Structure 1
Amino acid sequence: MKRGGIFQRLPREQVRQGLALAGLLCLTVLAIAGPTGLLSWSEQASLLEQREARINTLTAKRDELRNRVALLDPAAADPDLVGELLRSDLNVVHPDEVVITLED
C-alpha cells in the first residue's frame, strides 16, 4: 500500500458506518433546528395564538354584521337603524328635527 496520501482506502464497512452516522447527524439537526423541529415549536405556538385571536376578532365582527343585516331586512327593518343610516349617509332629517353642528 502507498502511504503518501491523507486518504487511504477504507474498508466498505467503515464507509457504510460513516454514511449511516452522517445520515443520523442530518436527521438530528433537522429534528432540532428544522422547519418543524424543536426550536420552531415556540414560534409556531405564538403564531397559533395570534391567529386564534384574529379568528375571534373576525368572528365577533361577522356576528355584528349578521345582526345588522338582520335588522335591515326589507320585510321587517328596524326603524331606529334605518333612521340612523338615513341621517348619517344621506344627511336626511325630519322637518321637526333641529340639527346642531359642533365646530372646533
Structure 2
Amino acid sequence: MVIRRRVRAVLLPLALYCLSGAAGSYFLWHAVNDDRGLRANEDYERQIKSLHAQVDAKEKERQAWARRIALLSGATIDRDMLDEEARARLGRVNKDDLIVLLKPNADGEPVSATNP
C-alpha cells in the first residue's frame, strides 16, 4: 500500500511534467518553424528587401526613360537624340560614321574601349 502511494506520488507529477513539457515543446516548435513562425518572418523580410531593391532599380530605369522621352518630345526636340534613336531602330549608319568592330572576349561579350 505504502509503496503504491509513493510510486503514484512520484509517477503522477512526473507524467504531468512530461506531458506539459511535450505540449510546450510542440507549441514552441510551431512558433519557430510554422508558416507564420519566426523563420517565416525572416524569409518575408528577405523577400521584402529583394522586392524593394527591384522597385528601386525599376524606378531608376523609369527615370532614365522619362529623361529620354523628354528629349524626344515637347516643344524642342533634341535632333541628335532623334537621329540616334532612328538609326538604332532602323539599323542604319551614316556614311560619315566610324564603325569599330570588337572581338568578343571569353564571356562572349564584346571588349569595351575602356577594358581592352
TM-score (structure 2 length as normaliser): 0.54
SS at match of 2:75: coil
Partner residue, 2:86:
86
Deviations 1:43-77 (A, max 9, x none): 11211111111111011001111111111115321
Letter in 1 for 2:98: I
Q: Runs of 5+ in structure 2 lacking a partner?
A: 1-18, 104-116
Partner residue, 1:62:
62
SS at match of 2:39: helix
SS at match of 1:41: helix
Partner residue, 2:97:
99
SS at match of 2:99: coil
Aligned-pair CA distance for 1:27: 5.5
TM-score (structure 1 length as normaliser): 0.59
Aligned-pair CA distance for 1:42: 1.8
The number of aligned residues is: 81
Partner residue, 2:75:
75
Root-mean-square deviation (Å) = 2.7
State how far apart, in whole Å, the 1-side matches of 2:39 and 2:76 are.
Answer: 56
Aligned-pair CA distance for 1:26: 6.6
